[in-house]
A and B are shown apart, each in its own frame.
Chain A
Amino acid sequence: MAQAIIELKNVSYAYEDEGTEAVKNVSLSIPQGAFHAILGQNGSGKSTLAKLINGLYLPTKGSVQVCGMDTAEDENTWEIRRRAGMVFQNPDNQLVATVVEEDVAFGLENIGVPTGEMPARIEQALSDVGMLDFAKRAPHTLSGGQKQRVAIAGVLAMAPEAIIFDESTAMLDPKGRKEVFSAVQRLNEEKGITVLWITHFMEEAALCQQVHVMHEGEIVLSGTPQEVFADVERIQSYRLDAPPMARLAHALRSQGMPIREGIMTIREMQEEVKRLCK
Chain B
Amino acid sequence: MLKNITLGQYYPVDSLVHRLDPRIKIILLIALIVAIFLAGNLLAFVPVMLFIGFASMLSSVPFKLLLKGLRPLRFILIFTFVLNLFFLQGEEILLDLGFMSIKKEALISAVRFSLRLVLLVMGSSLLTLTTPPIVLTDGLERLLSPLRVIHFPAHEMAMMMSIALRFIPTLLEEADKIMKAQTARGADFESGNLIQRARAMVPLLVPLFVSAFRRAGDLAMAMEARCYHGGEGRTRLRVLKCKAADFYSLFALAALIAAVVLCGKVY
Contacts and interface: CB of A to CB of B under 8 A. Distances in A.
Query: Does chain A touch chain B in the assembled complex, meaning CB atoms less than 8 Å apart?
Result: yes
Interface residues of B, number: 28
Contact of A56 (B162, B224, B234): B224
A112 B230 CA distance: 12
B226 A155 contact: yes
A94 interface: yes
Given A111-B227, A115-B235, A96 B163 contact: yes
B223 A81 contact: no
B173 A140 contact: yes
A15 interface: no
Interface residues of A, number: 41
A72 to B, nearest CB: 16
Contact of B218 (A90, A119, A154): A90
A93 B163 contact: no
**Secondary structure class of chain A's binding surface, majority of residues:** helix
Given A88-B222, A97-B166, A102 B173 contact: no
Contacts, number: 92
Contacts of A196: none
A277 to B, nearest CB: 51
A98 B134 contact: yes
Given A85-B225, A99-B134, A138 B169 contact: yes
Given A96-B219, A97-B166, A115-B239, A109 B234 contact: yes
Contacts of A90: 215, 218
A56 B166 contact: no
Given A105-B237, A109-B235, A112-B234, A94 B222 contact: yes
A93 B222 contact: yes
Contacts of A110: 226-229, 234
Interface string A94-124: 1111110110011111111111001100100
Given A56-B225, A110-B228, A111-B227, A95 B235 contact: no
Interface of B: 134, 162-163, 165-166, 169-170, 173, 214-215, 218-219, 221-229, 233-239
